[in-house]
């Protein structure tokens, strides 16, 4: 039991922080209730998926700067296809496209031996361009049921459907992988590539798959984005910095090998709740953006400093 507490201390701490922030919210705005929770969960959905994807590649020891662009491609693809064909096959096409884009990123990193940060920076623009080619301005239309699936509560009011969807999708994708040989290989590669190689891990293959998983999560993020707005928006949103910050805050060390997906997802909600609190306090939304940006940069700076200290001792 104590071992469990120690291993998950960070996640538990984050959960307590989140609970405290929710209480603060309730104190500032006594009317904050089921509907407030629902809108926070809904707005957090694309952020949470982007963060989950980012977390996987950071765990494998890389980084994917193109998450927001892949999400944009998936969002416009969804909106474009659903206007023209049945929504269920369109959904699968979008998921497949996300997976494919992630795998392409990973393969380019492994095959060209160009560092991940450079490859995904270039791919950021490539995917952005692809999104613009599919729809050159916001348009298309998502199926009504897709929009419904993330709206309102599930059975009871205070359990947002968006939250259920997030949990189910994350658990379905990451759950089986986490405990499998593949999951171990992902952690092993991020932790110590040479030791992993010596232990018989196929490092390159593992990396490519990790980027593929990231792409799949980004596809979910793009779909939820399209569901939120009802249309497809070809310009990438502010998901890159937010996901890096949430991943770091969530206890995944830049450099790899440590952490999981639960911490980063809780971190997403913490960042969103802070935004809600600022809004409730009637802070100018633009000032909110600055504060949010500063928090994100500070989190990444502290995380990097902590990693450096860890590496020195």
Partner 1 sequence: MSTATTDPAMIRLGRFLRDNPMIPLLVFLFLLIATLEVMRPGIVIPLRSGRDGLISTFWVGNLIKFAIPLAMLAACQVLTMLTAGIDLSVGVVATVSAFVCATLTTIWGVPAAAIVALATGIIVGAVNGIGVGIVRVHPLIMTLGTGLIATGCLQVYQRLFINAGSEIPEFLVWLGTGRTAGMPNGLFLFVPFALFVLWLMRYTGFGRLLFALGSNEQAAKLSGVRAWQVYIALYVLSGFIAALAGLLYLGMIRQTSLSLANPLLLPSVAAAVIGGTSIFGGRGSFAGAIVGALILRVLDTMLTLLQMPEGARTALFGLIVLAVTALYVRITGTR
Partner 2 sequence: MTEPALLDATGVAKSFGAVHALTDAELRVGKGEIVALMGANGAGKSTFVKIITGALKPDTGHVLIHGQQARVGSPAEARRTGLVPVYQEPSLIPDLDVLDNLRLGDTPVAPFVHWVKELGIEDLVLNEMIADLPLATLRIIDLARALASDPDVLLLDEMTAALPTDLVERVLKTVRARANEGMGVIYVSHRFTEISELCDRASVLRDGKTVGDLQIEEGVEERIVELMLGQKIDLGQREIAVNTSTQSGSTRLKVRDLAIGTKVSNVSFDLYSDEVLGVVALEGQGQDELFQALAGFIKPTAGTIAIDGEQKQFSHPADAIASGLTFVPGDRADALLSQRSVRENIALPFSARIKAWGPLKMRHEKERVAHAIDKLQIDTRAQGEVQQLSGGNQQKVTIGRWLATGVETLLLFDPTRGIDVRTKRQIYPLVRELADQGAAVLYYTSELEEIQLACDRAIVIFNGSVVDTIDASEATEQRLMRAAYGLTGNEGAA
Instruction: Kindly tell me which residue out of 43, 164, 184, 241 binds partner 2, with binding defined by CB under 8 A.
Output: 184
Is position 309 an interface residue for partner 2 (rule: CB under 8 A)? no
Residues 276-295 that bind partner 1 (CB under 8 A): 284, 286-287, 289-290, 292-294
Instruction: Kindly tell me which residue out of 194, 282, 286, 311 binds partner 2, with binding defined by CB under 8 A.
Output: 194
Of the candidate spans 12-20, 68-76, 182-190, 223-231, the one that interacts with partner 2 by CB under 8 A turns out to be: 182-190
Token representation of residue 306: 């902590």
Q: How many CB atoms lie within 10 A of CB 288?
A: 17
Residues 233-252 that bind partner 1 (CB under 8 A): 234, 238, 240-241, 244
Residues 6+ apart with CB under 8 A from 273: 18, 21, 22, 25, 40
* Binds 237: which of partner 2, partner 1, none (CB < 5-8 Å by kind): none
Give 234 or 264: the residue with its C-beta nearer to partner 1: 234
Place of tokens 């009317």: 31
Give 88 or 305: the residue with its C-beta nearer to partner 2: 305
Give 159 or 241: the residue with its C-beta nearer to partner 1: 241
Residue 50 CA to residue 58 CA, distance in Å, equals 12
Phi, psi of 282 (to 5 degrees): 65, 30
Is position 300 an interface residue for partner 1 (rule: CB under 8 A)? yes
Is position 43 an interface residue for partner 2 (rule: CB under 8 A)? no
Instruction: Kindly tell me which residue out of 257, 260, 263, 264 binds partner 2, with binding defined by CB under 8 A.
Output: 257
Nearest to 120 by CA among 69, 56, 191: 69
Contact letters for partner 2, residues 97-116 (x by CB under 8 A): --------------------
Instruction: Kindly tell me which residue out of 27, 154, 181, 281 binds partner 2, with binding defined by CB under 8 A.
Output: 181
* Binds 157: which of partner 1, partner 2, none (CB < 5-8 Å by kind): none
Is position 61 an interface residue for partner 1 (rule: CB under 8 A)? no
Contact letters for partner 1, residues 113-152 (x by CB under 8 A): xxx-xxx-xxxxxxxxxxxxxx-x----------------
How many chain residues interact with partner 2 (CB under 8 A)? 20
Token representation of residue 181: 């040989």
Give 36 or 238: the residue with its C-beta nearer to partner 1: 238
Interacting residue ranges for partner 2, rule: CB under 8 A: 3, 7, 181, 184-185, 187-188, 190-192, 194-201, 257-258
Interacting residue ranges for partner 1, rule: CB under 8 A: 65, 108, 112-115, 117-119, 121-134, 136, 234, 238, 240-241, 244, 254, 284, 286-287, 289-290, 292-294, 296-297, 300-301, 304-305, 308
């Amino acid at each position: 039991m104590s071992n469990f507490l120690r291993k998950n201390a960070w996640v538990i701490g984050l959960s307590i922080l989140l609970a405290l922030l929710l209480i603060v919210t309730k104190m500032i705005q006594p009317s904050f209730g089921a509907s407030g929770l629902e809108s926070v969960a809904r707005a957090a959905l694309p952020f949470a998926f982007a963060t989950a994807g980012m977390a996987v590649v950071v765990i494998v020891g890389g980084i994917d700067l193109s998450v927001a662009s892949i999400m944009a491609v998936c969002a416009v693809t969804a909106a474009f296809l659903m206007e023209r064909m049945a929504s269920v096959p369109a959904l699968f096409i979008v998921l497949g496209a996300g997976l494919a884009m992630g795998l392409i990123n990973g393969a380019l990193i492994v095959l060209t031996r160009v560092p991940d940060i450079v490859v995904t920076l270039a791919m950021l623009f490539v995917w952005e361009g692809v999104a613009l080619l599919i729809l050159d301005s916001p348009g298309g239309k998502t199926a009504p049921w897709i929009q419904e699936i993330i709206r309102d509560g599930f059975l009871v009011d205070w359990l947002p459907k968006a939250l259920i969807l997030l949990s189910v999708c994350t658990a379905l994708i990451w759950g089986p992988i986490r405990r499998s040989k593949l999951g171990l290989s992902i952690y092993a590669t991020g932790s110590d590539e040479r030791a992993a190689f010596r232990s018989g891990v196929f490092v390159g293959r593992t990396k490519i798959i990790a980027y593929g998983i990231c792409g799949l999560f980004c596809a979910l993020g793009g779909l939820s984005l399209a569901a939120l707005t009802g249309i497809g928006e070809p310009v990438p949103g502010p998901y890159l910095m937010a996901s890096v910050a949430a991943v770091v805050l969530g206890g995944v060390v830049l450099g790899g090998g440590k952490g999981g997906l639960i911490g980063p997802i809780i971190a997403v909600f913490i960042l969103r709740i802070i935004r809600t609190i600022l809004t409730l306090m009637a802070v100018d939304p633009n000032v909110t953006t600055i504060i949010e940006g500063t928090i994100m940069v500070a989190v990444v700076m502290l995380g990097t400093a902590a990693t450096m200290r860890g590496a020195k001792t």
